[in-house]
A and B are shown apart, each in its own frame.
Chain A
């Protein structure tokens, strides 16, 4: 099954928030919106971008984008193998396992390939 690919969008200055844009973003986000939801989302996204556009007024292109708080020690733990979650426990909350053999030890999903 070929997965639909969203059209790339390139020019921020030309952004028009319309149904087509909302539908592309919904596809990327793996959300299926109803007609009503798409309409409401189009209006909402337009208003949010209007709000966010005000950041241009205070933006300093010379500033470094935030990457995390400096000034504190945040050591990584030793890279040593440790026991992980047992398979049975990892599967305990898994959907779609009704009827699967108890010792299968795998998640089940609908067809990935046609």
Chain B
């Protein structure tokens, strides 16, 4: 699309295996800079695997194919280096450090920041997004509510000043009002210039904020297009938006 001409992330024929099981086959996609791209699909379709593959968390994966970020190959790079190059990740289940304080969690998120000043700037920005985290900074993260933990997980991911933010099911387990809030924040993050790649089961909500949409089915990319096209796509509608709650195979 001409609104977002630059490609930030590109996957080319990516193939990932879980042991003897092929979890992703021949996945090629592009994520335009400054967009929100949502990946839809049922449980087990390979959505989380896709994010984990991009971040290099899975040992020896992808088995085949290339991943480039800002024109540089990142498949085969160590996760730490990929994060350092500007990709942040909010994992499924948030995985905050529950025994550490809110501030310490954010400090870990800023691990790749080179100096105190950029850490301080990132912190100010995160506190603008989430004033609540500033209030609770010396509280143990494990004592936060589910919604607050999700805010912390997103805040932590923003601490390294990423260009691309990967989010795995940020709405999972949250009350509807909080879901709306999380998606508002995701739009704001995009408006500040961070590209977002989002995995969601809450298709209706996700497509409402997204620019681009992709559908994964059994590890294969079956539909790709603009978010508005996907909303109108009858097949997608039937598969992923039929029931207001989550369709599970």
* Binding between chains A and B: no
User: What residues of chain B have their CB less than 8 Å away from a CB belonging to chain A?
Assistant: none
